[in-house]
Structure 1
Amino acid sequence: MSPGLQRTGNAPAVPQVAAASLRRGACPSLAAPMQTGDGLLVRLRPTRPGLPPSDYVLLAQLAAEHGNGLLEVTARGNLQIRGLRGETVPRLAAALAEAGIDFHRGVAVETPALSGLDPQEIADATPLAASIRDALGGPLSMLRLAPKLSIVVDGGGRLNLADMVADIRLDALRGGESLFWRISVGGDAKAARAVATVADADALAALTIVLKALDGAGPAARGRSIHVDGLKDALASMATEGSPGTPPAPSPSPIGRHEVGMRGVLGIGLPYGAADTASLQALMRGLSGLGATEIRLSPHRALLALGLSADNVEAAAVLAEELGFWTRADTPGNAIAVCAGSAGCASGSFDTRAVADLLTASATDLLDGSMTIHISGCPKGCAHPRAAGLALCGRSEGIGLVLGGLAGDAALATLSQQAVGKVIENLAAKIRERSLKGETAHRTIERLGAGTILEAVQQGRQ
């Protein structure tokens, strides 16, 4: 048995929290929770593609009993429970094991939320992903891989993963009746560097070569840093000649109504990625009463409700909206990435969600979906570890306004908490007044440049 695990009767192994595991730099799990400003955080990826609503009722209850009562869905479609303590993590793990809710461990291998159900998909990514997990847990378990290494296996479809950044991507392609996988490293489907396109039968062997190359480069090696020329040479004997096709374009938002074959699917957005126990339990009980049989996690902080009749999809949307959830892709808050802030994290220097509410109330011209606005309570930028169109970041001297960068990047200006609302309102007004016909907010800001933002800052401080 692995160190840090113990068995309770006939139950699955329950992790014991070691002080050394309370660290950053690794994906937080039940065996290795991460210390944050509001306690310990665990991130969970269910082994089953979907869970019944009753399981989410239980998860919400456990989040309240052992954590701070919030259950989050991340941008990559994982569950998070935060506010845990050292003594409550094993209790949470034992309760999940008793309920038969199991989670993936080790390297993240991610597939589209509707894999195996979507008639538009090029291939069902589930079997290849399962083979990869088996290999990582067996013959490849001795490889030294970066703790946060991620592998995307994208079979395409309505809700594909083309916009998800990964260390290694396998994107399904069709050439006649044959299935191929395009292997690339260090990016999303558009930006990742292609290594080879291989037949379906060679995909696992080709991936093994890439993983061994990462192992050889050291335990911190990631897809963005690996040299592709050597990989291309190593995979030359498997690579197909020419290209059977190109990966699909990024899919629409998962939030909203979807027709997947004969299935009606409702994508439900958690406001800023989080829901409290009472709201989530009420939602799940209501969905179950309307006929929902399965809830799947989705990237972009969403839940997908399956099993609803066409009529009940609308009834479910009304229920979700009444409880404060989002069911429209154009809901302004979808354009905002926000962390827990000072209300839920000791590292946060201001109330991030209050600022997010200010934006949705008075700056909707900035929230057309063309860019992400990142509101971060501190420079770590946990909610959006990528460049954002605009970022508001808590710092010792105030709230830094960053244009086109990470939360911790150099600020264009520093604002007081009292001035933030007025500055953003002024900026939204300038975008509305100066945008060209058909121009997005992001493109307008790029065209107008930093000078316009500084002008809005000065006016907001007056």
Structure 2
Amino acid sequence: MSGFTIKGWCPDAWRPMAAGDGLLVRVKPCFSRLSREETLQVCALSRQYGNGLIDVTRRANLQIRGVAEAGWRPLIEVLVNAGLVDPDHAIEARRNILLAPHWTVGDASHRLAVELREKLPELPDLPSKMGFVIDAGDALVLLDEPGDFRIERGESGGLILRAAGREKGVAVSEGEAVGRIIALAHWFHDSGGAAAGRMVRHDAPLPPWAQGDARPAPPAPPASRAQPGPVCAGFVYGVPFSQIEADRLAHAVTTAGATSLRLTPWRLVILEGGSAGEHPGLIADPADPLLRVEACPGAPFCPQATVATRDLARRLAPLMQESLHVSGCAKGCACSRKTALVLTGREGRFDLSRNAHAGDRADISGLHPDHIPALLETR
């Protein structure tokens, strides 16, 4: 399906992306964690320079939405001075590290992330969509999350280095893991990987030292890694459609007494040190039907979408017992996985597909949004 444009890059603070509601400015918190003070500052900046909406991205970052071009430079200056954006454009572009969200200070995942962060200047220039995954806990939680260069726990109990798109990796010690992942990034660069854009699309044979027969460890049960509820560090909350009003996020952090905010790639955040409770704009109930539904911003917030998405998704959520993806166009930005039902916007209407990705061949085409709830009720 055509009709949309693949940008080929992701926004960051130094290279914002224009959306229907203004510029998107991405903030990449160190290890996907913000202190209470940093969280409240980002919320204040969202109100001052943006439209008061904040996205939680699939890479466990934040996006300040609706920034005017005239406000971008002052916003960047504040973020740099706060230590939330690197003053070096190249280093900021390389800070695409997705860390297993339940890391603790000093564990293997944290140690590796600290080392990789310190060695970012050693990396080559890479396409902006590329990223690193560190998932070194006993059970893997990021197997389904995109990342081109991966350090993971292997099924034998040790660490492995694995390139995206390859089922197997090579065993590495903790002491050599970061050096090897940097070397793999250089190999990608030097072997012409930029033309492919992502490791999974780069078909050059891996160098011998990056080839092996080590498989990743089994994944953790989904319920143990991705649902609202209490955890050792605090309480996990869902973020409907990965977006929250800045005022509501600030209110939740303040009233819960949270010491920090930890982000995940699953539309969930952790209020660390905070008490459990109901907070407007966040989901505390793991049975909430909105947790089964993915939806991008849609029209008019995305210039490539021809349909509004999130109001329809809220209407459909109570009707769904399985997963649903409502996508404004065939890009499927909100969800790269197959879902039980996917509605893909096209020329002001929706195509419906079952067990599919956005943009896959439609089972029913040209549905008016108002007719879809009745269709699902009669399934």
Q: When the two structures are superposed, what TM-score results if normalisation uses the length of structure 1? A: 0.71
Structure 1 or 2, whichever has the larger Rg, is 1
Q: 1:152 to 1:213 in 2, by over 3 A?
A: same
Aligned to 2:227: 255
Alignment of 1:143-154 (within 5 A): 143-154=124-135
Aligned to 2:344: 393
C-alpha contact (below 8 Å) 2:35/2:259 kept by paired residues: yes
Distance in 1 of aligned mates of 2:326 and 2:214: 41
Distance in 1 of aligned mates of 2:216 and 2:265: 25
Aligned to 2:152: 171
Aligned to 2:373: 421
Alignment of 1:257-406 (within 5 A): 257-260=229-232, 263=233, 265-288=234-257, 292-308=258-274, 313=275, 316-318=276-278, 320=279, 323-342=280-299, 344-361=301-318, 363-366=319-322, 372-396=323-347, 398-406=349-357
Q: How many Å apart are 1:32 and its aligned residue?
A: 0.5
Secondary structure of the corresponding residue to residue 134 of structure 2: strand
Q: Give the gaps of 5 or more residues in structure 1.
A: 1-22, 367-371, 428-462
Secondary structure of the corresponding residue to residue 317 of structure 1: coil
Q: Residues 290-315 of structure 1, C-alpha deviation per residue, up to 9 Å, x if partnerless? A: xx21111112112111124xxxx3xx
1:66 to 45, 49, 53: 49
Q: How many Å apart are 1:348 and its aligned residue?
A: 3.1
Q: Residues 253-273 of structure 1, C-alpha deviation per residue, up to 9 Å, x if partnerless? A: 43322443xx4x200111211
Q: Residues 231-285 of structure 1, C-alpha deviation per residue, up to 9 Å, x if partnerless? A: 3x2346xx7xx8698344354343322443xx4x200111211111222222122
Q: How many Å apart are 1:100 and its aligned residue?
A: 4.1
C-alpha contact (below 8 Å) 2:135/2:152 kept by paired residues: yes
1:109 to 84, 88, 97: 97
C-alpha contact (below 8 Å) 1:162/1:247 kept by paired residues: no
Aligned to 2:169: 195
* Amino acid in the other structure paired with 2:43: A
Secondary structure of the corresponding residue to residue 378 of structure 2: helix
C-alpha contact (below 8 Å) 2:261/2:270 kept by paired residues: yes
Q: Residues 181-234 of structure 1, C-alpha deviation per residue, up to 9 Å, x if partnerless? A: 2122225xxxx4213111222212322332222111331332213448543x23
1:126 aligned onto 2:95: no
Q: How many Å apart are 1:385 and its aligned residue?
A: 3.3
Aligned to 1:223: 199
Q: 1:397 to 1:267 in 2, by over 3 A?
A: closer
Q: How many Å apart are 1:391 and its aligned residue?
A: 1.4
Q: How many Å apart are 1:160 and its aligned residue?
A: 3.0
1:246 aligned onto 2:217: yes
State, as a whole percentage, how many aligned pairs show the same letter: 27
Q: How many Å apart are 1:129 and its aligned residue?
A: 2.2
C-alpha contact (below 8 Å) 2:44/2:246 kept by paired residues: yes
Q: How many Å apart are 1:334 and its aligned residue?
A: 1.0
Distance in 1 of aligned mates of 2:376 and 2:195: 39
C-alpha contact (below 8 Å) 1:76/1:301 kept by paired residues: no
Q: Residues 359-379 of structure 1, C-alpha deviation per residue, up to 9 Å, x if partnerless? A: 123x1333xxxxx31111223
Q: Residues 390-427 of structure 1, C-alpha deviation per residue, up to 9 Å, x if partnerless? A: 21122115211123333223322220122112112222
Q: Give the gaps of 5 or more residues in structure 2.
A: 1-5
C-alpha contact (below 8 Å) 1:163/1:250 kept by paired residues: no
Which of structures 1 and 2 has the larger relative contact order (alpha carbons within 8 angstroms, sep 6+)? 2
Secondary structure of the corresponding residue to residue 275 of structure 1: strand
TM-align CA RMSD: 2.8
Secondary structure of the corresponding residue to residue 422 of structure 1: helix
